Chain A
């Protein structure tokens, strides 16, 4: 049996066993046929295969009793309150909504209603709520690109923590949030616009089997990424392409891809004087590189957001992607994809040169590991800000984050301590909801993270002006990368001038 097939089959049976769909006897029998002993599987008798069995998982994955006791004590005055939150359908929100909020509700008597919507609809709802100051939502899910826009409409959690000592969760520890994420996601000027809630970040995901077959190694530089992708496309196209993208015209995803290549070539979106610099020499070089790289991607890539990009890897059409790390647990799920156990992760390819924060504008942090993410904050217009603050502390404390990471499918935690939590480490195996990619996510956050600028106009620039211009470029509306970027620069200036 080929190694790739063996891995795929192993991933499949392991996942079925973990889910309780296969008996221990059958699992061991199948594993033996694959030539694996119990030791190789990491399981002593009576212990967990790949660390986790279904029954044990159910026992282990409940909130810390001390936190529940604190919630019972402090939540009494708020029993009967209803809190509302509008959020994107992300792993943390889904895990809280589907599996965890019941613990909070039982302990406090506070009802939590979570409205799950696509990202652009969340923005519409929040904008309406802020414009009306009606307080229809008590908590705001704030994408990092909106932080500046909503910075005055939410409480700074540091102030809440110190001002309401009686409601402060013991050991909540604001310092545990990864400082890079506080800067990149939750901070605007001197204010914290909530606390970091989730962290999708660009990491390198690649098909190890294909790379091995063609004697390639994980790309360490952007040029290596291109040459690897070209070799794969030349050798295996049109069945398999070297890499893929999220290049839908006019969509935010296109802007995300652009920043990675721009920063990776030593460029930046803004200069220290606040002027658009994406059209300078570095910017043109980056767009030329991207154009070259696009030739190694599947046809149709300019119609895809991250959804199509992820599907192209999941279906085995693309051999690599520099994209959101939270896709990786999905790729490892044998019921969802054809590449379970075949993908590996690496930190993003090294930038050819990198500007410093001082050389950019509006707090932009250059780095190939484009960081997305969101923060969770209490609305200033909430009728029940104290109850909302209790929920927010619980939803973002280390214990809940560890549960979210394990139950919510291996999403990246925003707290340093959660990366070392035994429950999270126990899921570092091939299969659905794996956390085996998290060390790379952590390293990327620490060393390779790139963060978008913070300015009130950024929501419009990143979701409309820039991706529309780039979309037109890839559709052939401009004669050269310089012409396209100069036009985008003019439009950005117009938006900035209002």
Chain B
């Protein structure tokens, strides 16, 4: 039904308003990263008319941007040592490899649960689901003892394993629903043509479920990227991810908001890049199965 001009204008304005509401916190947080400490709490708040500085980024990433210095040795008077560049790398490594691990195992498990008939299949799905119901804090301390015995404390391998396992149930359940939406007749036709299960999975089902895999991978990446408790408990000095080091900007004489915002603003970028890379598949994946045939 054609809409009137005023209705279209209203719809556009409403759309922009929603975008602005969602975008404002990111904009404001990023603007804090470019402010001097004394300008952050200006009242009334200045959205744009402040003197910008890159000092916070220099201190956090240990790079000179031509306006001063910022190295690992720099200590703010009375504040902290805020050199955090290696911590961003830690986050990228842990999130990437734990996502790969979770997706690799989950696609195989989800395909089996979707296609193969075996005793206790439904109970197995329920059991997978139940592991998501356990509060992480209940397992964090036992994990600490196990990891200490296995020398996995404060290692990439330890965090990749724990984040991979943490995301596995979600990925299995999501991917199973995506595989369920691919007609099983396709598999049966391929079987009749002599294809093996592995060939069907690799050559036929997997390409068709690309969107679902992308959506699951993005969710796994984001959950790992933002996970706090396990990283806090299972690391010491060698490795730390962004959510945990963000709390170190809280010092005994106040919070270094500018530095925290600089790290936070920079931390948005890798997650954003991942989403951009899979965006095409993501939209398809998120709408897969929304129409019943």
Contacts and interface: CB of A to CB of B under 8 A. Distances in A.
Interface of A: 84, 86, 88-91, 94-95, 97-99, 113-119, 121, 124, 128, 132, 134, 136-137, 200, 306-307, 310-311, 314-315, 317, 324, 326-327, 329-330, 333-338, 407-411, 432-433
Contact of B79 (A137, A314, A409): A409
Which 4 A-B pairs rank lowest in CB-CB distance, beginning with the nearest? A409-B78, A98-B81, A98-B75, A409-B77
A89 B252 contact: yes
A338 B249 CA distance: 21
Contact of A136 (B77, B79, B153): B153
A94 B79 contact: yes
A115 B75 CA distance: 15
Given A113-B236, A113-B237, A335 B37 contact: yes
Contacts of A306: 252-254
Interface of B: 36-38, 41-43, 72-81, 141, 144-145, 148, 153, 232-233, 236-238, 247-255
A95 B237 CA distance: 17
A417 B79 CA distance: 24
Contacts of B238: 113
Given A99-B73, A116-B248, A407-B75, A330 B253 contact: yes
Given A86-B236, A128-B144, A132-B145, A336 B38 contact: yes
A253 to B, nearest CB: 11
Contacts of A137: 236
Contacts of B237: 84, 113-115
A117 B236 contact: no
A324 B81 CA distance: 21
Given A84-B237, A128-B144, A136-B153, A89 B80 contact: yes
Nearest to B249: A89
19 contacts: A84-B236, A86-B236, A89-B80, A90-B252, A97-B81, A113-B238, A117-B247, A124-B232, A136-B236, A306-B252, A307-B254, A315-B41, A315-B42, A327-B254, A333-B78, A334-B38, A336-B77, A338-B38, A410-B77
B251 A94 contact: yes
B148 A136 contact: yes
Contacts of B250: 89, 118, 307
A182 B86 CA distance: 39
A128 B141 contact: yes
Contacts of B247: 117-118, 121
Contacts of B249: 89
B36 A116 contact: no
B233 A326 contact: no
A329 B76 CA distance: 11
Given A132-B148, A311-B254, A335 B36 contact: yes
Given A86-B236, A128-B233, A94 B75 contact: yes
